[in-house]
Amino acid sequence: MKRVAPICVALIAAACSHGPPPDFAPDPGLVEQIREIRMATNTTACPGETFAAYYTAVLNDGALVSFDTRYDKNHPPRLHVSFLDA
């Protein structure tokens, strides 16, 4: 029974994952238009403290596209923060 609990927790965590599937990729046309990626965070943090960071893509025409942190398969985001992990 002790072995079953960690397996159940892992399966539930995987099922509740809010990230995109491994084969999900942004539109190459959108990626070509990105001229800058802006990052916004808190202005102060203590050593060892975690903090949020928000990313926004600036396109060639000046439009801003936020990188989403959640994934909805029915309404996939244009950009997801997982694309920054490359």
Structure confidence by residue, pLDDT tens digits, 7-61 = 444 444 444 556 788 888 899 999 999 999 999 998 888 999 998 899 999 999 9
Total-model pTM:
0.69
DSSP reduced 3-state for 8: helix
Half-sphere exposure of 76 (CA within 13 A, CB side): 12
Distances, alpha carbon 85 to alpha carbons 2, 42, 43, 63, 82, in Å: 35, 21, 23, 23, 5
- Site of tokens 């990729």: 25
